[in-house]
Structure 1
């Protein structure tokens, strides 16, 4: 049988944080952009990768996004600026309840996320800073998921061998990377599987 996990590493976006798409859609409609233009542009690999790997700041990333939008410079800058408040998102309460229950049982919890230099400010604004034992940011580590080096550093920071760490993320590619690095990886689709995750961590019912 596989070793029981002794610690939890959990993703932020799509797990502990959720986003209401309505404000972004409103900006796109206002400026005549196609649906999802802002997010798709931001997630373009040549823009996204350096932002997550600590090579450029969040502000520089957003400037590159604005430069690529099919608008004149002033309108593009305005559209990106109006989108920024929505990027804070909100806490997913059921995921936070799970994190709290894991820590209450004496297990360490690390937030392991691809992020920019705005992460720490976002965590403070969301009230999440004190909810985890350690924060693993790709921007600070200068390596992003699913690189093996990310998982190696994350396990070192949480103080457990990979075989004793449960990694929860909403991205299949990241989960495959975690498993390849020796961690127990589980793809988050919602709180319905929390009882199973508790068993993986050997927590009482």
Structure 2
């Protein structure tokens, strides 16, 4: 049976609308004598990451725990804190082509929401990136208290859009998030890059 045409679009932030330059972390790691990739590896350890994504701890507390874990390899707690602070100064860059697509979709009368597993720094990041006012709704896991790929997360996102799941198209660069959205009744597409925009336009049919 054919799916209903989507009347709302839900996009992930990191990996879709925002990109991070890996050279920034690599430069910090070299400067402080850290193993390549260790900043992200420690920060993304699930036991450390899950509490900040559900609002149990702040972004600042999360980064403090990363610095604590790096104290020995960095040569002391002060150097570890400096390394993490330098790394965190880079808040990523907006993908201009994806932003242009969002504007195009909204101009056609279709709501666009941001669906992200994020911390309490999200609002500040959106302001710094110039994205305030560019989206109809923002669904932040740390505010909601539940993260993708939970069904409750996607239900809340659809409620924020005032659109039933069957009429929402979700786009994310992670398979697990796409699977979670589909399990919650949304249409979902795994983002592979700008070449996917043609498909998304066709799916939205505006």
TM-score normalized by the length of structure 2: 0.96
* Residues 118-163 of structure 1: per-residue CA shift (max 9 Å, x gap): 0001101111111000110001101111111100000000010000
Aligned to 1:173: 176
User: 2 CA distance for matches of 1:58 and 1:96?
Assistant: 26
Aligned to 1:117: 120
Matches within 5 A, 1:24-43: 24-43=25-44
What stretches of structure 1 move > 6 A for 4+ residues in a row? none
Q: CA RMSD in A?
A: 0.8
Count of matched residue pairs: 202
Aligned to 1:158: 161
User: 2 CA distance for matches of 1:91 and 1:60?
Assistant: 26
* Residues 8-64 of structure 1: per-residue CA shift (max 9 Å, x gap): 000100000001111211110011111111011100000110011111000000001
Q: Secondary structure at the match of 2:133?
A: helix
Tell me, which stretches of 5 or more residues in structure 2 are unaligned? none
Aligned to 2:92: 89
Aligned to 2:109: 106
Q: Secondary structure at the match of 2:61?
A: helix
User: 1 CA distance for matches of 2:121 and 2:4?
Assistant: 36
Aligned to 1:182: 185
Q: Secondary structure at the match of 1:132?
A: coil
User: 2 CA distance for matches of 1:112 and 1:14?
Assistant: 12
> Per-residue deviation at 1:109?
0.5
After TM superposition, the structure 1 stretch with the greater mean CA deviation from structure 2, 67-76 or 26-35, is: 67-76
> Per-residue deviation at 1:67?
0.9
> Per-residue deviation at 1:193?
1.3
